[in-house]
Structure 1
């Protein structure tokens, strides 16, 4: 089995060293960075499988790093921070992070969260292998290829974050069905992360921004007072 690679972006050496030591004991390949810019450069060169990202960095915020990483990839991100404000937690998840851990933390919890993220990705890949229809036509020239986890608009690939993709796939596999925000949170985010239903609204807005066109009905329709559905054409 290929060794999973984890990039740690953390400016406190004691925390970074502890995380790196523990991750290596678990068999992961590890590299560390002490600033956002250094981390982004290392991310581009090394292409890790997961990012452990401190929220407060000396040159930029973890939110900014998260957004830049997810503009070009769907790499899972777990944020680390000493701030316990619920707003920061929600903002971190809405920025595209998969999980959010507050300091001080038990290193065993971090390991469990990392394994949970990797396991969720493996289960998704296993499910894809058993799907009969690999390509879904969403309409408006948009297709979703499940085997590659790739979305195309008029034949051109569209970069979606992991959660944006999973949310869109959920809609695509149940075209015309209305989902409440709570249902979508349960299906896409699962039980590991406790977040506000507004997160669904933010992700739907981002999908619309990437896939919709002016003067055309949105691919994802808002059902007032309930939630959302993927429009049925024809």
Structure 2
């Protein structure tokens, strides 16, 4: 059972999402504004937040930023069709994924499971060699078992998507991955239109791990192809 905080001001959407998730065995707490949502975050202690962007008073973008300042809980944006600019800004503010409203219970369930899996270390593959638990890449130290990343000895606070993206890219230094490949491996999506998820996450990750995000040493762009890790 997943504890889900739904921050959404539309009563019809609140009712529909709550019913769909509760039918699937999840515990749901609802909040009709950003202010009450932040209060519920401390009281309810959810495993995941579903966040509408168009909220009365405090905007969903501000709510997302404030949550990210305090903790790295998975955040999925609920986006209305046509709100592409707000949705991209929401991703840049720290959200892990987005779902276009109205969304079926099956879609919500799939996106929630995909985000929550980013918090769990991958099971070892007994058929092949196991990578070392801790790896050093320049100033970065990556611990794949503890799911910790340090830079110059200081632990970095990464959102679930940022962490999984870094783990995936750093597992094959120098190999170029297309946005589509990253969508399928990190976000478990297959729709190419969601490539903005990749670009927004790369931008946020660079802001945390690079000395100069404008000239990245770790997550590098290969124009016309995608992204690669290093080589350093």
Q: Same fold (TM over 0.5)?
A: yes
TM value normalised by structure 2:
0.80
Deviations 1:69-91 (A, max 9, x none): 23443323332244434444444
State the match for 2:207 in structure 1: 209
The answer to whether the Cα contact below 8 Å between 1:73 and 1:160 also exists between their aligned partners in 2 is no
After superposition, the Cα gap between the structure-2 partners of 1:42 and 1:124, relative to the gap in structure 1 and judged at 3 Å, is: closer
Tell me, which stretches of 5 or more residues in structure 2 are unaligned?
none
- 1:26 is displaced (CA, Å) by 2.4
Q: Could you tell me which of 150, 162, 170 is aligned with 2:160?
A: 162
State the match for 1:127 in structure 2: 122
Q: Secondary structure at the match of 1:148?
A: coil
The answer to whether the Cα contact below 8 Å between 2:121 and 2:145 also exists between their aligned partners in 1 is no
After superposition, the Cα gap between the structure-2 partners of 1:136 and 1:197, relative to the gap in structure 1 and judged at 3 Å, is: same
The question of 1:118 aligning with 2:113 is answered yes
After superposition, the Cα gap between the structure-2 partners of 1:181 and 1:19, relative to the gap in structure 1 and judged at 3 Å, is: closer
| In 2, Cα distance between equivalents of 1:118 and 1:217 | 31
State the match for 1:136 in structure 2: 135
| In 2, Cα distance between equivalents of 1:98 and 1:214 | 26
Q: Could you tell me which of 62, 65, 72 is aligned with 1:64?
A: 62
State the match for 2:225 in structure 1: 226
Q: Could you tell me which of 5, 8, 22 is aligned with 2:6?
A: 8
The answer to whether the Cα contact below 8 Å between 1:179 and 1:227 also exists between their aligned partners in 2 is yes
Deviations 1:47-67 (A, max 9, x none): 211112122111122222223
| In 2, Cα distance between equivalents of 1:94 and 1:214 | 18
- 1:121 is displaced (CA, Å) by 3.5
| In 2, Cα distance between equivalents of 1:70 and 1:63 | 11
State the match for 1:151 in structure 2: 149
Tell me, which stretches of 5 or more residues in structure 1 are unaligned?
none
State the match for 2:97 in structure 1: 98
Q: Secondary structure at the match of 1:179?
A: coil
Alignment length (residue pairs): 226
Q: Could you tell me which of 27, 30, 47 is aligned with 2:28?
A: 30
The answer to whether the Cα contact below 8 Å between 1:71 and 1:159 also exists between their aligned partners in 2 is no
| In 2, Cα distance between equivalents of 1:181 and 1:147 | 26
- 1:92 is displaced (CA, Å) by 4.1
| In 2, Cα distance between equivalents of 1:25 and 1:60 | 30
Deviations 1:16-63 (A, max 9, x none): 234334433322222111110211222134321111212211112222
Q: Secondary structure at the match of 2:181?
A: helix
